[in-house]
Structure 1
Amino acid sequence: MGGQPIGPGMFKAAMADTPREALNWRLAFSVICFGLMGAARGLDEGLISTTIAQKSFISEYGLTKGKNLTAAELAQKQGNITAMVQIGSVAGALIAFIACDKIGRIWATRQLCTIWIIGTIVYITANGNYGQILAGRFVMGLGIGQTTVVAPAYLAEIAPRSIRGLCICIFSGAVYLGIMLGYFANWGTSLHISNNSADQWIDATVMHIIFAGIILIMSVFALESPRWLAKIGKDEQAAINMSKLRQLPAEHPYVRAELIDIHDQLEREREATLGSGFFGPLKELFILPSNRYRIMLGLMCQLLGQWSGGNSITIYAPSFFALLGTTGQSEKLFATAIFGVVKLVSSLICAFFLVDFLGRKRALSIGIILQFISMTYIAIYLTAVPAITSGGVRSESAKHAGAGAIVFIYFSGVGWALGWNSIQYLIGAEIFPLRVRSLGTSMIMTFHFVNQYGNSKAVPIMLLKDQMKPQGTFWFFSVVTLLGLAFTYFFLPETAGKSLEGMDELFSLPWHLIGRKGEALTAGSGSVAEAVARGDTEKVAYIEQAEHAEHAGTAPTTQAK
């Protein structure tokens, strides 16, 4: 295994090292329960992007350019409604750190679902009150923002290392399940409910309550994370839960290796601790060089991902389709709904076939290249055919080129789903040590929603003719995707196949080696679980001694390399 890049051979080897019992119904249930939380953010993006294009909503909240609103004021009002969930999500992501650490992953899920439902009720009962609709969407954000911390952290902690990428990417896949359902719901209501009825957008928005309710009920039957239980000193319950999740007896080498790694990492973290309470872990994040690199990595993934244009197109899809020549409300909403299908299928392909099979870096690089080609084509088209943005007459060749631009909108969705959308959740969930995982993930996702808020507010203004214009906006997206490709090559390490506890060795390397050579330099070494997988007899002996020492009250003497 040493030094080989991630690929089909290594993926098959990793799967061969995973007992068949570990891939069971209980693991699948837990992954579905927490993976579905991705639909929270997806539903909001899919619903709000098409809701603000619904005639009933436009009429109810005065979203029409005219005597009362200039183009800039209309863009500002639309941005406020769209972005209010992101503002609430900033606070929600911060709350999630406290909830995850204090009450655990399961109870954190229950309280966020409750907040999510309350916010939705306030939102759909606004009845034309602009202030109430903003308040309701803010409260929704308090719940939705927590999902991006709680769910990926839980999924990373319960997943076997061989399929950790798949399990976490179920969350990002559910984002697109939510987006697709949101798009189709509003398209359907636009066809079958009168444009004069508020039910046109309210009936679709009720899907928020349905999904929150499903997750809330499923959480009653889910198991708490063994790693969180071990962190708070409930070692016996941690062993029981790990045994149930793997469907293996607690004394099985696979289970014992995972538990020993968890306790070893906790012990190392306690020795390296820089204080207790909130400020202790905070200092560890920014004083320890390995953690500083982790924070930098997570923040840059959010920054480059959010401003690559993929998320902007998701939120304002009807506007972009209209910009490229798709006319008529139903046609725009239908094109947007198909866009949701494309993204969902792409995210599932990434989850099941790419992120563990090819590795994180290759999957992300493929996605970024697809985005770059798509954004560049659209930018060139908008620059070459300015008539499309001014409402002028287009030639036949320009119309054909415009059809190509619409196709490239779909390709950009494929690239975003394969690349940044999956990685922005996956990397943050798997790179941090257990002691600071909730805090680190919380900080990264707080930055995620700050960026998303800025993006939601900025893009409608960037598209205005007296600002960057549509062509300038797409040139901007194109440059950011190119920067993202360079960042991926130089700084993003390959983490596929690594145990959570084995990440420490990777991030202990000099900073300039982690991204380019980290996987090769740390292959064949790491955690006890990885040693068991590759048949390292010395570390297997360490497991036996560690277990014996625990019962005898002494320390093991075998040195684990």
Structure 2
Amino acid sequence: MHGSNDGFFLLKRLTFKLICAALCFGFSGAARGLDSGLIASTVAEQSFINQFNLEAEYLSASQKANRLSNITSMVHIGSLPGAIIAFMCSERIGILWTARQCCLLWILGSVIFITSHNLGQVYAGRFIMGLGIGQFGVVAPLYLGEVAPREIRGMLVGTYGMSEYLGIMIGYFSIWGASIHIPNSSAKQWIIPQSIQIVWAGLLLFSSLFCEESPRFLCRQGRPKAALHALGRLWNLSPLDPGVHLEVANAQMQLDLERQVTPKIRFIGALKELFGTKSHLKRIALVFVLQCLGEWSGPNSVTTYAPELFGLFGIKGQSQKLFTTAIFGAVKFAFALISALFLIDFLGRRKTLYIGLMIQVIALTYDSIFLTIFSSLSGDSQQEPAVRHAGIGAIAMIYLVGVGWALGWNSIQYLIAAESFPLRVRIAGVSLVTLWHYANRIGISKATTVMLLEHDSLTPKGTFWFFTGMSLLGLLVAWRFLPETSGKGLEETNEMYSSGRHAKSPHEAQVDF
């Protein structure tokens, strides 16, 4: 099943119910993207700065940086307990109802944030937003990985990472538009764009009405017949179809084998099993290292602080910075879409990640060299043609950093979490990985503002060299340890993460679907 018929065959597997799943769960990634895109530009808006005293004279440079990082990272902080709540809710009420309560928490937090009168209310609103948004990082890859046919699992899970950049793009452009049409003296300049999050959460909530519960969750609940009917509706096949029966039978068989070892477990018991079993420890160690290398390679920090970073490379004026940042978001979205639709399943996980990381390393190296050579120049010297041309190149490389991330780590990191754990401990494993993912996001978000300071820190050039080194290290580790899971069933992929087998992709060897 190769060649020109591949694309047509894969499109046939994309049923109405799976499209609804992509709209509800896949596009929930826009929650984090909207927040990142909106808050990155909101904190640079003069109306927001004045309202919450972000540049008060009584604050030192480090205090200003800490206040800024507290605001931007508060959603990440709320995401940490959110990942644990996602586990508890998914086990008790199901993945579908968990997604619905995520939407309600996101709406509540957004309302509190946009009605803020002081910094404390800003923190509270964004923390509650994080409780909802953080759960999406668990339930979306988990659900999409469990309902997707193996041939399009990469594409469906990839919609989560792709939609993050759709959210970033919408956030950037809405803030830029508001900055043009609404004066700096009005709080509406940041409140109106932030309100988009309430609308988006409402759309996700509505689309969830057309989704099915995960068949594998129904198996965990001892309802195999309901699982057959749910999977049949998802794949638009009869519950008696051999493919539907085989998928549910494989899930039920793995679950039965695991339950023969130990009975049903809660979160603490699941953690004990995850850390007390050699095969699980191998999965956790590999996935934790990959998640860490991805986050600390820098592109998410570039997204969060894009307006300030474009200023480093010569872009002057707030409106021009915001417009350049908006275009940056559009570029990342376009390449994330290309990765999700055309590369992850066709080219394979490993090759797609290699391409993205090589682009990222080249672009970060250029920017590191630029900052090393030109950051010490005086204002007059920075206006010389050679310096300006080099600065334009540095801006282009920032765009390529986004391209590399969108093609590589952006989607692969969520696929890794969805494919690496067996059914019995999958929810606990994905929750744990997501918790670690958010912890790293908090760390890099708070660290970047301090790392970029000119005195007593890494400085901008040192920060970019650090990002370059982490990207290169990520490329080497992925090349050595990341298995190729394209075209494999979900019950097969988790074994590959513990055995270290580097299976070939469907284009490197024949795979029987």
C-alpha distance 335-21 of structure 1, shift in aligned 2 (>3 A): closer
Does 286-295 or 472-481 show the bigger shift? 286-295
Q: Does 1:435 align with 2:424?
A: yes
C-alpha distance 364-149 of structure 1, shift in aligned 2 (>3 A): same
Q: Does 1:372 align with 2:349?
A: no
Q: What CA distance in whole angstroms lies between the structure 1 residues aligned with 2:247 and 2:22?
A: 19
* Structure 1 equivalent of residue 261 of structure 2: 272
* Structure 1 equivalent of residue 291 of structure 2: 302
Indicate which of 472, 481, 495 corresponds to 1:491.
Answer: 481
Deviation at 1:21, TM superposition (A): 5.5
C-alpha distance 106-275 of structure 1, shift in aligned 2 (>3 A): closer
Q: Does 1:342 align with 2:331?
A: yes
Q: How does 1:352-391 map to 2 (within 5 A)?
A: 352-387=341-376, 391=379
Q: Secondary structure at the match of 2:65?
A: helix
* Structure 1 equivalent of residue 247 of structure 2: 258
Q: How does 1:520-531 map to 2 (within 5 A)?
A: none
Q: Does 1:169 align with 2:133?
A: no
Task: Count matched residues.
Answer: 509
Deviation at 1:54, TM superposition (A): 0.6
Asked whether the equivalents of residues 275 and 281 of structure 1 are also in contact (C-alpha less than 8 Å), the reply is no
Deviation at 1:316, TM superposition (A): 0.3
* Structure 1 equivalent of residue 29 of structure 2: 38
Q: What CA distance in whole angstroms lies between the structure 2 residues aligned with 1:440 and 1:304?
A: 19
Q: Does 1:210 align with 2:199?
A: yes
One-letter amino acid of the counterpart of residue 81, structure 2: A
* Structure 1 equivalent of residue 144 of structure 2: 155
Asked whether the equivalents of residues 371 and 461 of structure 2 are also in contact (C-alpha less than 8 Å), the reply is yes
One-letter amino acid of the counterpart of residue 205, structure 2: L
Deviation at 1:291, TM superposition (A): 1.6
Asked whether the equivalents of residues 273 and 280 of structure 1 are also in contact (C-alpha less than 8 Å), the reply is no
Q: Does 1:56 align with 2:56?
A: no
Q: What CA distance in whole angstroms lies between the structure 1 residues aligned with 2:301 and 2:410?
A: 12
Deviation at 1:504, TM superposition (A): 4.5
Q: What CA distance in whole angstroms lies between the structure 2 residues aligned with 1:25 and 1:78?
A: 43
Asked whether the equivalents of residues 141 and 157 of structure 2 are also in contact (C-alpha less than 8 Å), the reply is yes
User: C-alpha deviations, 1:263-289, integer Å up to 9, x for none?
Assistant: 111112112337633333222212222
Q: Does 1:70 align with 2:54?
A: no
One-letter amino acid of the counterpart of residue 207, structure 2: M
* Structure 2 equivalent of residue 478 of structure 1: 468
Asked whether the equivalents of residues 155 and 164 of structure 1 are also in contact (C-alpha less than 8 Å), the reply is yes
TM-score (norm 1): 0.87
* Structure 2 equivalent of residue 91 of structure 1: 81
* Structure 1 equivalent of residue 98 of structure 2: 108
Q: Does 1:80 align with 2:70?
A: yes
Deviation at 1:165, TM superposition (A): 0.3
Q: What CA distance in whole angstroms lies between the structure 1 residues aligned with 2:249 and 2:424?
A: 16
Q: Secondary structure at the match of 2:107?
A: helix
Q: Does 1:393 align with 2:381?
A: yes
C-alpha distance 14-254 of structure 1, shift in aligned 2 (>3 A): farther
One-letter amino acid of the counterpart of residue 482, structure 2: L
Indicate which of 423, 428, 449 corresponds to 1:460.
Answer: 449
Deviation at 1:414, TM superposition (A): 0.1
Deviation at 1:254, TM superposition (A): 1.3
Q: Secondary structure at the match of 1:264?
A: helix
Gaps of 5+ in 1: 1-8, 534-561
TM-score (norm 2): 0.95
Asked whether the equivalents of residues 365 and 419 of structure 1 are also in contact (C-alpha less than 8 Å), the reply is yes
Indicate which of 109, 121, 137 corresponds to 1:119.
Answer: 109
Q: What CA distance in whole angstroms lies between the structure 1 residues aligned with 2:397 and 2:219?
A: 48
* Structure 2 equivalent of residue 317 of structure 1: 306
* Structure 2 equivalent of residue 556 of structure 1: none
Q: What CA distance in whole angstroms lies between the structure 1 residues aligned with 2:485 and 2:182?
A: 49
C-alpha distance 144-291 of structure 1, shift in aligned 2 (>3 A): same
Structure 1's consecutive aligned runs of 4 or more residues displaced over 4 angstroms after TM superposition are 9-18
Q: Secondary structure at the match of 1:403?
A: helix
Gaps of 5+ in 2: none
C-alpha distance 275-102 of structure 1, shift in aligned 2 (>3 A): closer
Q: What CA distance in whole angstroms lies between the structure 1 residues aligned with 2:229 and 2:442?
A: 42
Deviation at 1:507, TM superposition (A): 3.9
* Structure 2 equivalent of residue 290 of structure 1: 279
* Structure 1 equivalent of residue 492 of structure 2: 502
Q: What CA distance in whole angstroms lies between the structure 2 residues aligned with 1:24 and 1:267?
A: 30
* Structure 2 equivalent of residue 539 of structure 1: none
* Structure 2 equivalent of residue 331 of structure 1: 320
One-letter amino acid of the counterpart of residue 371, structure 2: L
C-alpha distance 391-47 of structure 1, shift in aligned 2 (>3 A): farther
Asked whether the equivalents of residues 370 and 415 of structure 1 are also in contact (C-alpha less than 8 Å), the reply is yes
Indicate which of 26, 30, 47 corresponds to 2:17.
Answer: 26
Q: Secondary structure at the match of 1:36?
A: helix
User: C-alpha deviations, 1:167-223, integer Å up to 9, x for none?
Assistant: 001111110000000000000000000110000000000011001111111112211
Asked whether the equivalents of residues 387 and 393 of structure 1 are also in contact (C-alpha less than 8 Å), the reply is no
One-letter amino acid of the counterpart of residue 141, structure 1: G
Q: Secondary structure at the match of 2:99?
A: helix
C-alpha distance 524-322 of structure 1, shift in aligned 2 (>3 A): closer
Asked whether the equivalents of residues 79 and 133 of structure 2 are also in contact (C-alpha less than 8 Å), the reply is yes
Asked whether the equivalents of residues 34 and 164 of structure 2 are also in contact (C-alpha less than 8 Å), the reply is yes
Deviation at 1:392, TM superposition (A): 5.3
Q: What CA distance in whole angstroms lies between the structure 2 residues aligned with 1:158 and 1:304?
A: 29
Q: What CA distance in whole angstroms lies between the structure 1 residues aligned with 2:66 and 2:75?
A: 15
Q: How does 1:396-411 map to 2 (within 5 A)?
A: 396-411=385-400
Q: What CA distance in whole angstroms lies between the structure 2 residues aligned with 1:12 and 1:285?
A: 42
* Structure 2 equivalent of residue 47 of structure 1: 38
Asked whether the equivalents of residues 87 and 267 of structure 2 are also in contact (C-alpha less than 8 Å), the reply is no
Q: What CA distance in whole angstroms lies between the structure 1 residues aligned with 2:358 and 2:12?
A: 38
User: C-alpha deviations, 1:221-274, integer Å up to 9, x for none?
Assistant: 211111111111111211111111111111212111111111111112112337
Q: Secondary structure at the match of 2:266?
A: coil
Q: What CA distance in whole angstroms lies between the structure 2 residues aligned with 1:381 and 1:504?
A: 43
Does 433-442 or 327-336 show the bigger shift? 433-442
What root-mean-square deviation, in Å, do the aligned CA atoms of Structure 1 and Structure 2 show? 2.0
State the structure with more CA Rg. Answer: 1
* Structure 2 equivalent of residue 538 of structure 1: none
Q: Secondary structure at the match of 2:381?
A: coil
C-alpha distance 235-324 of structure 1, shift in aligned 2 (>3 A): same
One-letter amino acid of the counterpart of residue 45, structure 1: S
Deviation at 1:387, TM superposition (A): 3.7
Does 234-243 or 155-164 show the bigger shift? 234-243
Q: Secondary structure at the match of 1:496?
A: coil
